[in-house]
Amino acid sequence: MNADDILKIIEVIPEYIKYIYPGYLTIYIYFFLRGKTLRDNNYIFLKSVAISYIYLSMIECISSIKLFQTINNKLLIIPYSLKLNIALISIALLFSYFAYRIAMSSRIIKIFSLLNINTTFYDNEIEALSNYNEGAWICVYLKNDTVVYEGSVGMKELEEEKRKYICLNSYYKYLLNENGKPIEPYIEDHADNPNESVMIFYDDIKIIEKRDV
């Protein structure tokens, strides 16, 4: 491959990259807002191409509208490629944010219920119990310990490739009597201190109960 061939490849790249990066940017930002790690694979690549193609089709349809043609004519000083990339990036940012807001909205679950659609956007049990990060109060029983932790769900890491854990804020730590009631005084009581937290590894959890407080 000589220098001319390399230059031709460089010239062609922008024509193809627009079919990849807008969709990838949408997926990346959506995962970022959900606090998840985006792992590159062929599935993500195909989704990126599909989303990018939809964006380009949308822009093509919108550009045929007279109002946008007028705006475009007034912006002739700006190169078409720059305008196209600005539009693609803007659409990617907006769509990823709105997709995140829809996934995190409790209203969408109610709409699904009205339509008899039994599905949610929750990825794990903790998100279902805590309604994502709305500070649900839970009680955690451990597998190999008689100690019970009770508190508000805080930070968590529940991805399969990492060691999974949850944190409880303003937590109580106590033992149970023969009737299953907390023994007072508690071992630890941090109800009045939201800065106090405890990390509990997911493998050590036996039962989780959600409490109304």
- Tell me the per-residue pLDDT of 72-96, one tens digit each, with 9 for 90 and over: 666 666 677 788 888 899 999 999 9
Higher pLDDT, 73 or 51: 51
Query: CA 60 to CA 47: how far, in whole Å?
Result: 20
Per-residue model confidence (pLDDT) at position 95: 94
pLDDT at 57 over 60: yes
Higher pLDDT, 29 or 131: 29
Nearest CA to 171 out of 190, 157, 185, 187 is that of 190
66-70, 76-80, 109-113, 179-183 — most confident range:
179-183
Give the confidence band of 32 by pLDDT, cuts at 50, 70, 90: confident
Give the confidence band of 42 by pLDDT, cuts at 50, 70, 90: confident
Token pair recorded at residue 204? 């050590």
pLDDT at 6 over 90: no
- Work out whether strand 148-157 and strand 188-189 pair parallel, antiparallel, or are unpaired: unpaired
Q: 158 with 185: CB under 8 angstroms?
A: no
Instruction: List, as one string, the DSSP characters of 107-119.
Output: HHHHHHHHTT---
Nearest CA to 157 out of 112, 121, 191, 202 is that of 202
